[in-house]
Amino acid sequence: MRRRGGTPLSTEPPAVAPHDAEAPSNRRSIDSADLVLVVEDDPDIAELVAHQLHKAGYASEILTSGSDVMPLVRERPPALVVLDLMLPGRNGLDVCRSIRADPKTSGVPIIMLTAKTDETDRIVGLELGGDDYVTKPFSPKELVARVGAVLRRARREQPPPSLLRFGPVTVDTDRHLVTCDGRDVRLTAKEFLLLRYLIEHRGRVHSRDVLLSDVWGYAYTGGTRTVDVHIRRLREKLPALAGAIVTVKQFGYKLIEEEADLPARP
């Protein structure tokens, strides 16, 4: 957790009871997509929220002034902003309006922190594009639960990427084009769908029956041998991925999860 604006605070989490000293054993791995920006000028509230986010597996950064928000979110859009409405420098409603007006940040979810009596601010904040609000005083654990719920909803609403990449291979799902090392590779419709499916579900083992159901459709009446034929053709047409498409004996196939594990090319 990092803090910007105002007097720097210790990056150590606040003191907690012994049974809270360690994060849960099911903590998720943290990546940049899980960064939560906490904009709150009360240091005690900000640190407590950041600590609960850390326990839940989220990285966090604290800002104490509304005027510092837009430069940061434009440079590195966070996964979500927890935004107090009463801020020095620039109030939270104005910040919310700016986040929604900027094309680069318009999709960033916002949870607003409001005083219990500020019904008008809550309504205006939601109308400006806030995704949820929590009234003070609040439970930090409830706030973190709302963070998770808003993030799940936002990710469900995101359109799937039109470009899928794995190693030297790029799949353009909009134009149904495949390139390898920048060169076009001609695939049949089913080969294309099979490759796309494997990349989107990399690291998972798929039985032939599952591949027939998900790629060919439940009404397909051919035998599972057709899966083997299409896998062989993908390996032939995309030799750079031949070693990455792994046969799981007596079961099916998988595409390795990490590009770093791609076999060395001659």
* pLDDT tens by residue, 111-156: 999 876 767 777 888 888 899 989 888 899 999 999 999 998 887 7
Residue 218 belongs to domain spanning: 163-261
| pLDDT (mean) for 200-228 | 83
Which H or E element spans position 116? none
Q: Is the pTM of this model over 0.85?
A: no
* 152 and 174 fall within a common domain: no
* 200 and 255 fall within a common domain: yes
pLDDT of amino acid 94: 93
Instruction: Look at residue 207 and tell me whether its pLDDT is greater than 70.
Output: yes
Task: Tell me if 266 is assigned to some domain.
Answer: no
Which H or E element spans position 253? strand 252-255
Stretch among 20-24, 105-109, 130-134, 219-223 having the lowest mean pLDDT: 20-24
Q: How many domains does the chain have?
A: 2
pLDDT of amino acid 3: 58
Instruction: Answer yes or no: are the C-beta atoms of 116 and 145 closer than 8 Å.
Output: no
Q: What is the DSSP string of 53-93?
A: HHHTT--EEEE--GGGHHHHHHHS--SEEEEESS-SSS-HH
Task: Return the structure tokens found at 33.
Answer: 């997509």
* 125 and 179 fall within a common domain: no
* 102 and 213 fall within a common domain: no
* 204 and 101 fall within a common domain: no
pLDDT of amino acid 129: 86
What CATH number did the domain enclosing 213 receive?
A: 1.10.10.10
Question: Using alpha carbons only, what angle is made at residue 136 by residues 133 and 142, rounded to the nearest 5 degrees?
Answer: 60
What CATH number did the domain enclosing 89 receive?
A: 3.40.50.2300
Which H or E element spans position 39? strand 36-39
Task: Tell me if 55 is assigned to some domain.
Answer: yes
Task: Return the structure tokens found at 176.
Answer: 């149904």
